[in-house]
Structure 1
Amino acid sequence: MSAQQFLADFHHVATIGATPANGVDRQAATDEDRQTRDWFTQFATARGWHVRVDGIGNMFALLEWRPGAPYVLIGSHLDSQPLGGRFDGAYGVIAALHAAEKVERLVAAAGVGQTVPPYNLAVVNWFNEEGGRFAPSIMGSSVFAGLMDEDEMLQVQDLAGTTVAEALERIGYRGQDERPQVAGYAEIHIEQGRILEREGLDLGAVDFSWYTQKLDIEVLGEQSHTGATAMSDRHDALVAASKVVVLVHEVTRKFEDEALVSSVGHLTLEPNSPIVVARRVHLVADLRSASPEIVAEARASLLESIEGVAREHDLTIHVNDFDVRPIQHYPEDGIVLVEKVAADLGLGVRRIRTMAGHDSVAMNRIVPTVMMFIPSAGGVSHCEREFTSDQDMVSGLSALTEVTWELVNGALDDGRKGIAERAMAMEG
């Protein structure tokens, strides 16, 4: 494995869908996404790895040493947000490909007659992690983990009315291949926060994910002429929706600083004409906290306030729970493994939570999962200014390689038994 070749590959992939301000725009199942998928396929097939594509567009590059044995998965996603950063997701996939190549060489170097690892290895590129074009996010890994229904997700539409199924067919990546049997998962990602940078550390060992609650909100007013309708006769859905947006922002003030984060990042307006009072606005509110109780309190407060807005403007507002994700704790054995690997490599490390959702959050529901962070300059993400240094990326690659070697050799077998026992108890 060459650090120079890894960096060359990373910076090459960043040219696909590149934007003028050094970001990328590679939304799920677009032509730009197809180009990165083609690159992934070429990288794998050039090394003799078999590539599978499943029914929701997830891609797997398989390295098999022990026929019939399950696979340790490593990877992330290659799709991006609109005008997003070039590091988010793509770093984790490209690092995984290079880590897999190094692990393959280690296995080969063991020589004939030596025991091969008990688990095979696969690199994954998950479909539609970002959710910018098709909601909800973390779609491919959630379908894989059985948390979302594949048929339902294939019928999700973008704003132009194109379904996931149609978009995948159009770019040639709606597959039918069997999904690999999985024994564990590891992912490395940029932090998307400032903690590692502020503390001068190289690596974060993720110990848990924040609770996430989204609200699907529909504001229904009445369409009318912007010039001819008296102000007192209007039922303006956009004015009411604007107040809802402010309520979502201000609800965080009811709690300690940074105990709750909230936003409205998606809004559509009908009929969206300059001379028509809006009849309908659809928006999605996002609430996140380390405390489910805080999220529940914020949700209840918002529902009460939104009812007041509906009465004030004499219109209807529907609010439905959407994409609720409980806190996920990552296996202690995996966290300790990351800490040990960091110590062996001379890297500074700390335990860290993830406020953002990742494919690892879905995978952690079904197999022992390791999640690692590397620093983000200024904590900037989902933005063209997103940046992580080459040195930090290479350090993370070294850590991922060592963690992967340990995983294929059974480092988290005890955690795997624990998940199996919990699954049996739930079935019982």
Structure 2
Amino acid sequence: MSFLDDFRTMSTFGATPGGGVERQAASAADGETRRWFGGWLAEQGFRVEVDAIGNIFGLLELVPGAPYVLVGSHLDSQPLAGRFDGAYGVLAGAHAARSVRDRAAAEGATPRFNVAVVDWFNEEGSRFKPSMMGSAVHIGRLPLETALATTDPRGVSVADALDAIGGRGEFTGLDVSAYAEIHVEQGRELEATGTTIGLVASTWTAQKLEVVVTGEQAHTGAAPMADRRDALFGAAKLIVAVRELIDGFEVEQLHTAVSEMYLDPNSPVALAREVRMLVDIRSPRQDLLETAVARLRTTIGSIAAEARVEIDIVDVVEWSSGPFLEAGVLLAGEEAARLGYSHRRSATVAGHDATNLKEVVPTVMLFVPSVDGISHNEREFTSDDDLLAGLDVLQSVLYRLCAGELETERTS
């Protein structure tokens, strides 16, 4: 089966009427995809392992006892999502790892490192927060016990959800020498410039603020307007303030959103006593992000007083901006040029597992174009030609990584 045939098969799991997929982390559809992927790996000669947080590893031991070059992404999705985000990188990584094995055998070469593909658990963070959970546990950034105890909006824990799909294993991990990931861009730059391959050189910084707005439940009709402490009114003003926060900054230097919200009691005849929401703020510069968050905190105080509610930031999750290893960017550019593909340096606004891995091992990240920049949407699309071009470059990059060409100390 070709890569495109395999990708079409993978896209049938959790398929939606709009042409996308819905397979949130540890859902039944995610479980079906994971089982298919594990079976595919086994058929291709990979040793399949699953760790305690549900990350799936497919290992090809080429040099007994040597560390591994790891390649992959994630199979879980947002609700009503596109079929390319994450899944493309996992399947391309698997095909690329297989090609490294086959090429080494054909050439009679002995790589310096082994190769393995990974499906990181819960990259999206739509069912369980935070996002990039599996890779965060892998690098030690998030304690395993904390991750397993995390619950979804219905109160189901990660541990129970994984157990329901047979998704927890006992694999204790592997010695990783380098990491590679390919992903659809989720932006317009590559398409707008007629470029086939993006060489990810940096990532934006982000803060995700969990906010609770507390008011007092009351009758929607009988309660005097002057007495009302409507949590939803306070939340509405905060939503507007989050959107207007960008007005104080240069264009496209700050992205803001309120991306999740729950209210109690959510009744047609009762004012909300509580609203829980997630505020997402991102910038290419740490100082701008900190300035924006400080301004928002001041605005929150004013909104709370005006709406007669309490507004508390109960949790903050942050990932920092920073460069990818320059030697990796250059190596990927050399391979794109050698293979005849147009390429340019890129920055990722979205978070990816590579942004976790780059903190601990040399990491290479590649982009392929997204039509109209659409992502987290059933209409997300990347052409077959671009998917195959990305795979072509990834295979060559991965071969060089396995040859030990990125044994370079990280620079700060």
On whether the aligned pair clears a TM of 0.5, the verdict is yes
Which of 293, 301, 317 does residue 299 from structure 1 map onto? 293
Alignment of 1:187-206 (within 5 A): 187-206=181-200
Which of 70, 74, 78 does residue 75 from structure 2 map onto? 78
Q: 1:52 is matched with which residue?
A: 49
Structure 2 distance, partners of 1:293, 1:182, is 32
Alignment of 1:119-138 (within 5 A): 119-138=113-132
Paired positions, count: 412
Q: 2:383 is matched with which residue?
A: 389
3-state DSSP class of the match of 2:239?
helix
**Residues 206 and 371 of structure 1 are in contact (CA less than 8 Å); yes or no, is this contact kept in structure 2?**
yes
**Residues 188 and 371 of structure 1 are in contact (CA less than 8 Å); yes or no, is this contact kept in structure 2?**
yes
Shift of 1:289: 0.6
**Residues 52 and 178 of structure 1 are in contact (CA less than 8 Å); yes or no, is this contact kept in structure 2?**
no
Structure 1 distance, partners of 2:183, 2:271, is 44
3-state DSSP class of the match of 2:126?
coil
Q: 2:105 is matched with which residue?
A: 108
Q: Name the amino acid aligned to 1:31.
A: A
Q: Does 1:185 align with 2:179?
A: yes
Identity %: 48
Q: Does 1:69 align with 2:70?
A: no
Shift of 1:406: 0.3
Q: Does 1:11 align with 2:8?
A: yes
Q: Name the amino acid aligned to 2:39.
A: Q
Which of 341, 346, 353 does residue 352 from structure 1 map onto? 346
Alignment of 1:23-422 (within 5 A): 23-111=20-108, 114=109, 116-415=110-409, 418=410
Deviations 1:299-332 (A, max 9, x none): 1111111101111122211014511111121011
Structure 2 distance, partners of 1:354, 1:234, is 44
Shift of 1:209: 0.4
**Residues 128 and 134 of structure 1 are in contact (CA less than 8 Å); yes or no, is this contact kept in structure 2?**
yes
3-state DSSP class of the match of 2:257?
strand
Shift of 1:48: 2.0
**Residues 362 and 408 of structure 2 are in contact (CA less than 8 Å); yes or no, is this contact kept in structure 1?**
no
Structure 2 distance, partners of 1:321, 1:203, is 37
**Residues 57 and 116 of structure 2 are in contact (CA less than 8 Å); yes or no, is this contact kept in structure 1?**
yes
Shift of 1:224: 1.0
Runs of 4+ in 1 over 3 A off after TM superposition: none
**Residues 24 and 85 of structure 1 are in contact (CA less than 8 Å); yes or no, is this contact kept in structure 2?**
yes
Q: Name the amino acid aligned to 2:236.
A: S
Shift of 1:297: 1.1
3-state DSSP class of the match of 1:413?
coil
3-state DSSP class of the match of 1:224?
coil
Q: Name the amino acid aligned to 2:144.
A: E
3-state DSSP class of the match of 2:322?
coil
3-state DSSP class of the match of 1:35?
helix
Unaligned runs of 5+ in 1: 423-428
**Residues 156 and 163 of structure 1 are in contact (CA less than 8 Å); yes or no, is this contact kept in structure 2?**
yes
Structure 1 distance, partners of 2:224, 2:390, is 61
Give the alignment's Cα RMSD to 1 decimal.
Answer: 1.1
- TM-score normalised according to structure 1 size: 0.95
Structure 1 distance, partners of 2:190, 2:44, is 35
Deviations 1:231-276 (A, max 9, x none): 1111000010011011001100111111100000010101111111
3-state DSSP class of the match of 2:18?
coil
Shift of 1:229: 1.0
Structure 2 distance, partners of 1:411, 1:323, is 34
Structure 1 distance, partners of 2:405, 2:132, is 26
3-state DSSP class of the match of 2:323?
coil
Structure 2 distance, partners of 1:85, 1:282, is 27
Structure 2 distance, partners of 1:41, 1:278, is 46
- TM-score normalised according to structure 2 size: 0.98
**Residues 354 and 365 of structure 2 are in contact (CA less than 8 Å); yes or no, is this contact kept in structure 1?**
yes
Q: Name the amino acid aligned to 1:142.
A: A
**Residues 133 and 147 of structure 2 are in contact (CA less than 8 Å); yes or no, is this contact kept in structure 1?**
yes
Structure 1 distance, partners of 2:260, 2:61, is 42
Q: Name the amino acid aligned to 2:313.
A: V
Deviations 1:149-191 (A, max 9, x none): 1100111110110000000000001111121111110000000
